[in-house]
Amino acid sequence: MGLWYYETYRGRVKLGLKVRRSLFTKQSDYQLVEVIETEAYGKTLAIDGIYMTSERDEHYYHEMLVHPALTTVANPERVLIIGGGDGGTAREVLRHDAVKKVQLVEIDQVVVDACRAHLPDHFSWDDPRFELIIADGIQFLADAAPDSYDVVLLDGSDPVGPAQGLFNRSFYEHVKRALKPTGAFALQSEGPILMPDLFLDIVHTVRDLFAQAHPYFGPVPIYGAGIWSWTVASETLDARTPDPDRVARFARACKYYNCDIHRAAFAVPNDLARALVEN
C-alpha cells in the first residue's frame, strides 16, 4: 500500500495522502515543518501535522485570499502579508500592477527555507517590490504606524501555536489602525462546516470592528473541510462586486479566480446566513 501521511482534526476527522517520499523535516523553534511528495497533490507543506499548501491545489487558496481585496481597493500600492511563508500569497499580490511594495512578515525562517527549496513554483523571491521580514507578525503590526497600508492580508494557519494570536480582537484592531481608511483587510476564516465555531467567531469579531465585512467561500481540496472561507473587511468599501476591467488585467494568469467566481463566492448558504444572525 505504500506510505501514508495523515492529518487528524480534533480526533474526529482524518485525511490521508499517499506519500512517494519525504523531502524535508525540521523542528524549528516554533513548529514541526515538513515537505512531502504526495501522489494526489504533489509536493505538500505540512506544519505540526496539518496540511498547509500543495503544488496542485494552492491556487484555490491563494487567489481567493488575495484578489477580492486587491480588486476592491482603488490603488493598492502598499500591501502587508502576515504569515504566508510559502510565498503563494505574495505571488498573487504582485500580479497587480498598482502594487509598489509588498512586505511579508513570517515568524519562522524554516518555513521559508523549506518552501524556497522544495516549492519553488509558489513564488519568485527576488521581485524588487517584495520584502521578506522574519519577525513576529503580531508585534510587527502592533508597531506599525497608522494608515501605513492599502491592504493587509492575514495568511495564517489555524489559530493554534504561533498563529493563535492572529485570530482575536486585539490583532484585528491593530490591522484597522494600520490600514488606510480606503483600505481592505482579508483573512482566511476557516472551514464553516468542520469548524463552525471558529468561522462564526472570526466573522463576528471582524464585523464588530469594520463597517463592511463579508465572508466568502470556495474549495481548497487539501483541507478536506467541504468548503473553505475567507472574509474581507473595510471601513469604506464593499468587496462583493468586482470591477471587470481591473480583473481583466491579471485574471488570465489565474487558474481559478475570475469575475464570475468573485461574485459567486459571496453567496452565503442558508444555514450559514442563519447562523451568522442567530449566534
CA gap 84, 154 in Å, rounded: 8
Catalytic: 201?
Answer: no
Where does residue 146 fall: left (phi above 0), alpha (psi -120 to 50 degrees), or beta otherwise?
beta
Look at residues 6, 3, 186 and name the one whose alpha carbon lies nearest to residue 82: 186
Query: What is the torsional sign of CA 66, 159, 104, 6?
Result: negative
Torsions phi, psi for 199 (to 5 deg)? -55, -50
Pick from 84, 182, 69, 183: nearest CA to 131: 84
Cβ-count burial 148-159 (b if 16+ within 10 Å, e if not): bbbbbbbbbbbb
Catalytic residue among 155, 201, 245, 260: 155
Catalytic residues: 155
